Homo-oligomer: A and B are copies of this chain.
Amino acid sequence: MPSCMKYFSPLSFLGLRFFWNSFNLLTAIMSATPYLSDFFEFLRFPSISTDPEYAPQVAACAGWLEEKFQRIGLEARVHPTEGHPIVVARSERKPNRRTLLIYGHYDVQPVDPLDQWATPPFEPTLKDGLVFARGATDNKGQILAHILGVEKTLKETGDLPVNVIFLVEGEEESGSESLGRFLDGHREELACDLIAISDTGMVARGVPALTYGLRGILAMEVKLSGAEGDLHSGIYGGVAPNPATLLARLLACLHDDCFRVAVPGFYDAVVEIQDWERAEWARLGLDDAFFQRTIRSRALLGEKGYTPVERAWGRPTAEVNGIGGGYQGAGGKTVIPHEAFAKLTFRLVPNQAPAAIQAAVCDHLKRICPPQVRMEILPGHGGEPFLCDPHSKDALAARRALLRTWGVEPALIREGGSIPILHTLRGTLGAEILLLGLALPDSACHAPNENFPLENLEMGIRLNQVLLEELACAH
């Protein structure tokens, strides 16, 4: 348990933490059980948006959501797009009430490496209070908590304190391309005072957070080609260019020896982490030991001169997400591969612009790529970094809702992940965004054995209920 938990938990000083946790867990399982069938049904759709093969299952998942919204009394509709469908649902629009738009996504990441899943990724499995499935945390569990919260309030009171619009898309994991166009075409329908999103994290179990910043992202794939086909490495070794070798040399130039990104101009627009942020983050106790335990690694590695949490939340990166080329099977094969590829993402911080970084990276790669191979750069999706004011009236209302739900002051954090659509949402709808995440550090988002605690589903339902109350009287 991280030290931040000690800091926040009001009961830890009394040595009652064990009972408190057991009680919470029991309560969660008992009270969330009625929603389990909804959750499991939602999770069974392999709604992988990055792989075109899964398009029918993505569409089926959108259809399920539409029906769910209609069953709880909202007006709902699936909107086809050029990509995957967008589901919009709304409560009856009452005048003189503020309108909250709740954004989420029903698409999920691919599942490989499949052999590392303890249970099938699309057969949700409840174990020790955790639901294991691809998408359990990112984002099905979190968006479902809001849907179930609205359902509960409607059942309990027959009304909602604010007008609510749900906007649930199916392309978040592949760049949200359709959503931008959709927002443009539905400004009036989606007009709102505020946007709430639960697609970020808590600091730890029982320690809620308001996330006021996110990193941006820039994705690309680099492919090097040499000869037209694979060659015998005995006959042509020493003569033919080896794209795998040359790709390695190219990637070795992404960082310098201090693990700063070595692309010229990369840091030009970077806003340094502020002193109050360093102090706020330092007290959370997310130290080396915490990260090592969470990721189960013998050591950490990153830019010199920053703590792990500073590197994760406030510093940009260059990562190789996938590398491949040549023989991949068992044993060996003495070939010179004819091509090799690397899938790259760069995480960006304020005020790095994806387009400027893309240009800088392309320039860098072109400058250092040896002329003996052909380089192809396939541009991927981009998303700007995000920052908002954690001290605004609505942010204060959200912090009260978090406090009422967990009985603990929420931490003010930034996060390392990216939600590329935040800028478009804010820009198009002209509303500020509250990020109230329910993910835990060990939820294994994007990785095998992704999971979501039932406790967080229950707390998320509660959070939705009190958030609507707090926002109704925030101004």
Supposing A228-B296, A229-B448, A446-B230 touch, asked if A237 and B416 sit within 8 A by C-beta, the answer is yes
> Is there a chain B Cβ closer than 8 Å to A415's Cβ?
yes
How near does chain B come to A348, taking the closest CB pair, in angstroms?
Answer: 11
- Please tell me how many copies of the chain the complex holds: 2
Q: Any chain B CB within 8 A of the CB of A330?
A: yes
Q: A233 to B219: give the CA distance in the assembly, Å.
A: 11
**Residues 222-246 of chain A, each 1 if its beta carbon lies under 8 Å from chain B, else 0:** 0000111111111111111110111
Contact B323 A326 (CB under 8 A): yes
A444-458 at interface with B (beta carbon < 8 Å): 444-449
Chain A: interface residue total (CB-CB under 8 A)? 101
Please report the C-alpha to C-alpha distance between residue A308 and residue B235 in the assembled complex, in whole angstroms.
11
Any B CB within 8 A of the CB of A221: yes
Q: By the criterion CB–CB under 8 Å, are B337 and A301 in contact?
A: no
A161 in contact (CB, < 8 A): no
Chain B residues in 8 Å Cβ range of A297: 226-228, 240-241, 372
| Given A311-B239, A321-B336, A326-B322; A296-B372 close (CB under 8 Å) | no
Are B333 and A321 in contact, CB atoms less than 8 angstroms apart? yes
In the bound assembly, the distance between CA atoms of A250 and B321 in angstroms comes to 17
Report whether B237 and A347 are in contact in the complex, using a CB–CB cutoff of 8 Å: yes
Are A329's CB and B372's CB within 8 A?
no
Instruction: Name the prevailing secondary structure of the A interface residues.
Output: loop
Across-interface contacts of A329 in B (CB, < 8 A): 50-51, 110, 112
Task: Contacts A230-B113, A233-B321, A322-B327 given; indicate if A239 touches B291 (C-beta within 8 A).
Answer: yes
- With the chains together, A417 CA to B239 CA distance in Å? 13
- Contact: B330 with A51, CB < 8 Å? yes
A244 touches B323 (CB 8 A): yes
Instruction: Check A163 for interface membership: any CB of B closer than 8 A.
Output: no
Q: A248-B247, A416-B235 are in contact. Are A110 and B240 (CB under 8 A)?
A: no
Bound complex: CA A333 to CA B113 (Å): 12
Tell me the nearest residue of chain B to A230, going by C-beta.
B447
Mask, A419-450, CB within 8 Å of B = 1, is 00000000000000000000001001111110
CB pairs A–B below 8 angstroms (21 shown): A50-B333, A51-B331, A112-B327, A116-B229, A227-B296, A232-B446, A232-B447, A233-B347, A236-B312, A238-B315, A238-B316, A240-B291, A241-B299, A242-B301, A242-B319, A247-B248, A319-B334, A321-B334, A323-B324, A324-B325, A324-B328
Q: Give A contacts to B, CB under 8 Å.
A: 50-52, 109-110, 112-113, 116, 174, 201, 215, 217, 219, 221, 226-242, 244-252, 254-255, 291, 295-303, 308, 311-312, 315-337, 340, 342-343, 345, 347, 370-374, 380-381, 415-418, 441, 444-449
Additional A-B contact list (9), CB under 8 Å, known A239-B312, A321-B336: A50-B330, A217-B334, A232-B417, A234-B416, A236-B295, A239-B295, A239-B308, A321-B337, A323-B323
